[in-house]
A and B are shown apart, each in its own frame.
Chain A
Amino acid sequence: MNMSHGQDLNRRDFIKISSLFLAGSAAMSTQIGRTLSGNGDALADDGRERVVHSFCEHCFWRCGIAAHVRDGKIYKITGSEHHPLSNGRLCPRGTGGIGQIYDPDRLAHPLIREKKGGKASYRKASWDEAITYTAEKLYKIKEAYGPQAIAMLHHGFGYTFFKEMFKAFGVNKFAKPSYDFCCGPSHQAFLFTYGHEIGTPEGIDIINSKYILFFGTHYGENMHNTAVQEIAEGIRRGLKIVVFDPRFSTLAGKAEKWLPIKPGTDIAMMQALMNVLITENLYDKQFVAENTVGFDELRAEVERMTPEKAAEITDIPAEDIREIARNFARYAPAAAVHPGRRTQWYADGAQRSRAIAILNALAGNYKMPGGMVKYEKYKIPKGAPHHYPEYEKEVWSKYPLFTDIKPENTMGSHEVIQQAIDGELKALFVYGVNVPETITMGRKTALKALGNVDFLAVVDTLPMEVTGYADIVLPECTYLERYDELDGGRPYRTPFVALRQPVVEPMFDSKPGNQIARMLADKLGVHALEDDVETYLDKKLKRAGSSLEEVRKTGVLLGKPTDLYRKTGEKLTFETPSGKIEIASSKFRDAGFDAVPRYTKHPDAPEGFYRVLTGRKPMLTFGRTANNRFLNELPTARENEIWVNPQVAAKHQLSHGEQVHLKNQAGVVSEFPIKVKVTERIRQDAVYMVHGYGHYFKKLKWAYGKGASHNQLISNYDIDTSTGAVGFENNFVTFIKEA
């Protein structure tokens, strides 16, 4: 058999490689590696076990989990049978909570930065001291410069209490980096086209679909549990998958057809598909006539993008483009183009997502089995409103099509960074964002911002790079040790409200975010978070028709399944300005942008350089899991590799498994070397690496120095001037061989 390079895991190798770190992580063995003796294994129901239902925090999907506790320790995490997003199953990361809670590197105490004789160091502080210090700094900065001099960067579900605290304090500059470079533009694109967002989980009826096109979406490597479950079920039922991706991804491995498209040319491909649908009269004419506006504008725009023209741009033969467009039409309305996630690659991410939205409209698949659907939310009646101060502005972003319906994002995270660099921001409060390795203007820019603010506070569970720059570090306990806000805001097939509840007591001197935020609010003298968290959750659950006591049992409260499909003759309405699906978007037009998506060329790699494509491994969520010894144990998880086509390898005399440094177009050289993976699975003009490796903070004892950092190699970024999103795929690298 011709085994591919690198990916294959030979168990003897595994044992050999892995036993190397056995000694180094002995601390973990005592925590999770309880050895069982005798013939067979210990029984789960020996009376010492208890199971707590909660939800996962290893990614935003937030699946329901069942945490199994024995002798006071969590020894395994399984998928909750009750939660609609897990259906009793989990992705690998979901099982990995034990590696997070029992991480020996966890932040154990509040830390205050001190400078003695020009040298900065941290000292342990009591919570009282830490809270007083933080509140005092925030208060003084607000007094001196106004509330607009303070911003919070946040990621993860525990931020809500800090948001409440800040709102009561008059601060509402909030940014979640994932808006900028992940789903923001896609949300906006669907909102402006259909009047509602595509959602999380995305509103595509995958299990009933016959034909789905994916553009660079790496399901299977992106383990969004329910979506992966649905794709598998779809395949069992006969779903045909088409993947456009410069790399032969795992999903491409499932596809009927893999099209190794030239990176940066997706919109040209989408236009060409539209061209075929229109010129060959294959689109759903009745649906388009009744439910859309702007079709003629689209026709005029895509007329020039013939399959032949697109073939030159995209490297995909014209006959393939025709065949796919015809198949798409043949299977419609049980056909869809999946919106994907992390779709912000260049400055035209929103337009690219608009093109996806439009292709779905041309298929007439809205509210049809196997097409685009609109899931519903579990509606919790609102409680009495808090009386927060009036803000100077509700949305701070300067970008005209930035979201104004997501109060967790009032500006782009890159705008926060820019304002910090410009001196407009004086204090940064960072909740769960490892700024130097997350912000997609690259590490260097992020560090400039961190260095420029007067006060930097960090709330986290682990010593991430950002904690090394903080004035104060507030150690939060992990998601397995705390309550958080209810997860009730998301539409799905079965609308639900989910509860995060503590499985075990907080370890060390860490505290739940809800308590940290309350202590800060009290110290600042503002009235947020009036009730303790249990009372608060109970009141809210009572409004939802249940109670905390009740929901604690299964961790979830279910609503009536969404009625997904159109009835015959049903008149559709859309909450867009025109009340129709806006093929030509009035929002984009009114703001001075192209009303229908247009292809623009992105720069090619300089000679000898290769475009850096990124993605993830199924067992890791970037930084959040980087130090997780349980999840990182497999050799496939421990470091990232740089994927290189054999032709490129030959040109640069690279051999499989060799360590190289990467150098980008601006001369930035990766701090750590990275292993070369020579593989047929990638085009010759691009290389691929998984984001979230190459940590340079020594306190992350496990993750330190493993693989290369992608964020470090970002020197170039493109801002979408409509939605304020950031793309970073116009970065290129070459190889520096070890001397």
Chain B
Amino acid sequence: MAKQKNYGMVIDTRVCVGCSACVYACKSENSVPEGYCRDWVVQETNGTYPKLSMENRSERCQHCEKAPCVTYCPTGASHYAEDGTVQVNRSRCTGCKACLAACPYDARFVHPEGYVDKCSLCKHRLDQGLETACVSVCPTKSLNLVDFNEPDQEALALMNGKEVYRQKEHAGTRPSLYWISARNKPGV
């Protein structure tokens, strides 16, 4: 039997230019309705002129290992899939929004058709052995799909020796998205 997968992402903010290609690719891949998005881009600038710094991030559901959305979902619609991703079973979802309130990352929205939607980590593509739509389009390769059960991966090696963080770790969610900080010097 093939080893079980445990998918996540390593996101290299040093190279992300905030172009939003990932957002558009996701929208067309997943037919995300107008006015909504499953991933979004944050451009954060700090400091005062002329000492400024910037970080660009393409954010989405963090596919947490301890996902509050799953905990608080009363119907079991939000669940862990075998590949380490967090999924929503649309036919079970009643649109009660308990998960929206529980998610510390603001990753979910109510689809106009009544169920809750969010990044699926393009599960339909993963199942076919493809990378996610956002990972495949990204011109800077800021987005890297990883399988944490597979230690020999370039994307995991990318984190070596660098300042890497996870978002809101204090919430105890154990997110599967790792961020290489823009503070890292080139080529480190």
Identify the A interface with B (CB < 8 A).
1-4, 7-12, 14-15, 18-19, 21-22, 25, 28-29, 32-45, 75-79, 88-92, 94-96, 98, 219-221, 223, 225, 228-229, 231-241, 248, 250-254, 256, 258, 260, 618-619, 629-631, 633-634, 636-637, 645, 679-683
A1 in contact with B44 given A25-B34, A89-B136, A253-B53 (CB within 8 Å): yes
A256 in contact with B21 given A1-B46, A21-B35 (CB within 8 Å): no
Is B163 interfacial (CB-CB < 8 Å)? no
Is B20 interfacial (CB-CB < 8 Å)? yes
Is B176 interfacial (CB-CB < 8 Å)? no
Residues of A within 8 A of B15 (CB): 231-232, 235-236, 254
Select which of B35, B41, B139 is within 8 A of A228 by beta carbon. Answer: B139
A36 x B31 contact (CB < 8 A):
yes
Is B91 interfacial (CB-CB < 8 Å)? yes
> In the complex, which residue of chain B has the Cβ closest to the Cβ of A684?
B49
Select which of A8, A35, A78, A92 is within 8 A of B20 by beta carbon. Answer: A92
A618 in contact with B17 given A250-B54, A645-B49 (CB within 8 Å): yes
CB distance from B126 to the nearest CB of A (A): 10
> In the complex, which residue of chain B has the Cβ closest to the Cβ of A22?
B35
A7 x B128 contact (CB < 8 A):
no
> In the complex, which residue of chain A has the Cβ closest to the Cβ of B106?
A11
Is B37 interfacial (CB-CB < 8 Å)? yes
Tell me the chain B residues, 55-71 only, with Cβ under 8 Å from chain A.
55-56
B128 x A235 contact (CB < 8 A):
no
Residues of B within 8 A of A634 (CB): 20, 23, 37
B18 x A90 contact (CB < 8 A):
no
B17 x A250 contact (CB < 8 A):
yes
Residues of B within 8 A of A683 (CB): 49
CB distance from B134 to the nearest CB of A (A): 11
Residues of A within 8 A of B49 (CB): 248, 260, 645, 680-683
Report how far A147 CA is from B36 CA in the complex, Å: 54
Report how far A220 CA is from B128 CA in the complex, Å: 31
Is B168 interfacial (CB-CB < 8 Å)? no
A79 x B46 contact (CB < 8 A):
no
Select which of A4, A11, A40, A258 is within 8 A of B37 by beta carbon. Answer: A11
Q: Count chain A CB atoms within 10 A of each CB in B40, B137, B141 and give the residue with the most.
A: B137
Report how far A238 CA is from B185 CA in the complex, Å: 8
Report how far A25 CA is from B37 CA in the complex, Å: 17
Residues of A within 8 A of B48 (CB): 680
Report how far A306 CA is from B28 CA in the complex, Å: 54
Residues of A within 8 A of B29 (CB): 41, 76
B187 x A239 contact (CB < 8 A):
yes
Residues of A within 8 A of B123 (CB): 40-41
> In the complex, which residue of chain A has the Cβ closest to the Cβ of B18?
A250
A220 x B18 contact (CB < 8 A):
yes
Additional 12 contacts, C-beta under 8 A, given A41-B124, A233-B141, A680-B47: A3-B45, A7-B43, A9-B40, A39-B91, A76-B25, A89-B137, A92-B24, A229-B139, A248-B54, A254-B15, A619-B20, A680-B45
Select which of A8, A36, A619 is within 8 A of B19 by beta carbon. Answer: A619
A-B contact count (CB 8 A): 235
Q: Please, could you name 27 A-B residue pairs with CB atoms under 8 Å apart, sorted by A? A: A3-B44, A4-B44, A4-B46, A8-B43, A11-B40, A12-B106, A15-B36, A34-B31, A39-B87, A40-B123, A40-B124, A44-B128, A45-B128, A78-B133, A92-B23, A235-B186, A237-B187, A250-B18, A250-B43, A253-B53, A253-B56, A253-B182, A258-B52, A618-B18, A634-B23, A636-B20, A680-B48
Select which of A9, A41, A221 is within 8 A of B30 by beta carbon. Answer: A41
Residues of B within 8 A of A256 (CB): 185-186
Report how far A680 CA is from B106 CA in the complex, Å: 28
Report how far A223 CA is from B113 CA in the complex, Å: 35
CB distance from A432 to the nearest CB of B (A): 23
CB distance from A465 to the nearest CB of B (A): 26
A8 in contact with B42 given A35-B33, A45-B128 (CB within 8 Å): yes
Is B138 interfacial (CB-CB < 8 Å)? yes
A40 x B18 contact (CB < 8 A):
no
Q: Mark B102-128, 1 if CB is under 8 A from A, else 0.
A: 000010010101000000101111001
B186 x A18 contact (CB < 8 A):
no
Report how far A636 CA is from B37 CA in the complex, Å: 13
Chain B count of residues within 8 A CB distance of the other chain:
66
Residues of A within 8 A of B12 (CB): 236
CB distance from B86 to the nearest CB of A (A): 13
Residues of A within 8 A of B27 (CB): 630, 633
CB distance from B38 to the nearest CB of A (A): 10
B41 x A9 contact (CB < 8 A):
yes
B43 x A4 contact (CB < 8 A):
yes
Residues of B within 8 A of A42 (CB): 31, 124
A91 in contact with B21 given A7-B45, A253-B54, A254-B14 (CB within 8 Å): yes
Residues of A within 8 A of B120 (CB): 40-41
A35 x B113 contact (CB < 8 A):
yes
B52 x A680 contact (CB < 8 A):
yes
Report how far A236 CA is from B136 CA in the complex, Å: 18
CB distance from B129 to the nearest CB of A (A): 11
A220 x B19 contact (CB < 8 A):
yes
B19 x A223 contact (CB < 8 A):
yes
> In the complex, which residue of chain B has the Cβ closest to the Cβ of A226?
B139
B33 x A681 contact (CB < 8 A):
no
> In the complex, which residue of chain A has the Cβ closest to the Cβ of B55?
A253
CB distance from B64 to the nearest CB of A (A): 17
Report how far A679 CA is from B44 CA in the complex, Å: 12
Is B151 interfacial (CB-CB < 8 Å)? no
Report how far A98 CA is from B49 CA in the complex, Å: 40
Report how far A126 CA is from B123 CA in the complex, Å: 49
Residues of B within 8 A of A33 (CB): 31-34
CB distance from A629 to the nearest CB of B (A): 8
A38 x B31 contact (CB < 8 A):
no
Report how far A630 CA is from B164 CA in the complex, Å: 34
> In the complex, which residue of chain B has the Cβ closest to the Cβ of A36?
B31
Residues of A within 8 A of B149 (CB): none
CB distance from A619 to the nearest CB of B (A): 6
Select which of B30, B45, B54, B140 is within 8 A of A36 by beta carbon. Answer: B30
Report how far A240 CA is from B186 CA in the complex, Å: 7
Is B161 interfacial (CB-CB < 8 Å)? no
Is B181 interfacial (CB-CB < 8 Å)? no
Residues of A within 8 A of B14 (CB): 235-236, 254
CB distance from B153 to the nearest CB of A (A): 15
B28 x A77 contact (CB < 8 A):
yes
CB distance from A686 to the nearest CB of B (A): 12
A35 in contact with B31 given A4-B45, A232-B140 (CB within 8 Å): yes
CB distance from A34 to the nearest CB of B (A): 5
CB distance from B16 to the nearest CB of A (A): 8
Residues of B within 8 A of A78 (CB): 25, 133, 136-137
Report how far A4 CA is from B28 CA in the complex, Å: 29
> In the complex, which residue of chain A has the Cβ closest to the Cβ of B25?
A95
Report how far A645 CA is from B15 CA in the complex, Å: 26
A90 in contact with B31 given A39-B89, A40-B124, A250-B56 (CB within 8 Å): no
Residues of A within 8 A of B133 (CB): 76, 78
Residues of A within 8 A of B37 (CB): 11, 14, 634
> In the complex, which residue of chain A has the Cβ closest to the Cβ of B77?
A39
Report how far A308 CA is from B93 CA in the complex, Å: 68
Report how far A91 CA is from B18 CA in the complex, Å: 11
A228 x B52 contact (CB < 8 A):
no
Residues of A within 8 A of B141 (CB): 229, 232-233, 236
CB distance from A48 to the nearest CB of B (A): 14
CB distance from A134 to the nearest CB of B (A): 37
CB distance from A204 to the nearest CB of B (A): 17
